[in-house]
């Protein structure tokens, strides 16, 4: 079980079990136990679509709503960027642990690799943005001598 705190200071626990996986599947028709399935694969969607990730997290946490005296809307409103990042990290770590204990090293490695790929992609994009010479880009765009590069 992995925990994180939301912006309101509530502590949430992510626990992936057969029961929680089945509850997510019943609610969202998403099979957390086959992260390599889909087009794009579930792991890719979870890593690139924050709204989709939020839906999955809310479904996983739903059994804790009553204890915290909150609604799904309250939870979504208390998930700022920092909270969503902490929740995503806790969720991925829980997936890794589940698949390792299940004897599915392939899926465990896939989730761990996805985590690394997200970090590497963010760093690569940041480096590309940091390398931009904004003054030169503006001068070139205004003079018509160079196109504005995309990031």
If one compares 128 and 79, the residue with the highest pLDDT of the two is 79
| Dist. CA 151–CA 140, nearest whole Å | 16
**Among the residues of the chain, which ranges form H helices?**
18-28, 42-48, 50-61, 65-68, 72-77, 81-101, 105-130, 134-143
Tell me the average pLDDT of the chain.
88
Interval 44-83: pLDDT, tens: 899 889 999 999 999 999 999 999 999 999 999 999 999 9
pLDDT tens per residue, range 85-105: 899 999 999 999 999 999 999
Segment 106-114 mean pLDDT:
82
């Amino acid at each position: 079980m992995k925990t994180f705190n939301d912006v309101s200071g509530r502590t949430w626990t992510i626990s992936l079990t057969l029961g929680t996986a089945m509850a997510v599947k019943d609610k969202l028709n998403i099979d957390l136990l086959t992260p390599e399935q889909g087009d794009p694969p579930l792991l890719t969607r979870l890593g690139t679509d924050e709204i989709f990730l939020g839906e999955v997290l809310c479904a996983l946490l739903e059994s804790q709503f009553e204890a915290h005296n909150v609604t799904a809307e309250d939870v979504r409103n208390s998930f700022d960027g920092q909270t969503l990042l902490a929740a995503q990290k806790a969720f991925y770590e829980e997936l890794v642990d589940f698949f390792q204990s299940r004897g599915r090293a392939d899926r465990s490695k896939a989730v761990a690799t996805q985590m690394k790929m997200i970090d590497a992609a963010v760093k690569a994009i940041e480096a590309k943005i940091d390398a931009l010479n904004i003054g030169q880009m503006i001068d070139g765009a205004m003079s018509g001598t160079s196109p504005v590069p995309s990031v």
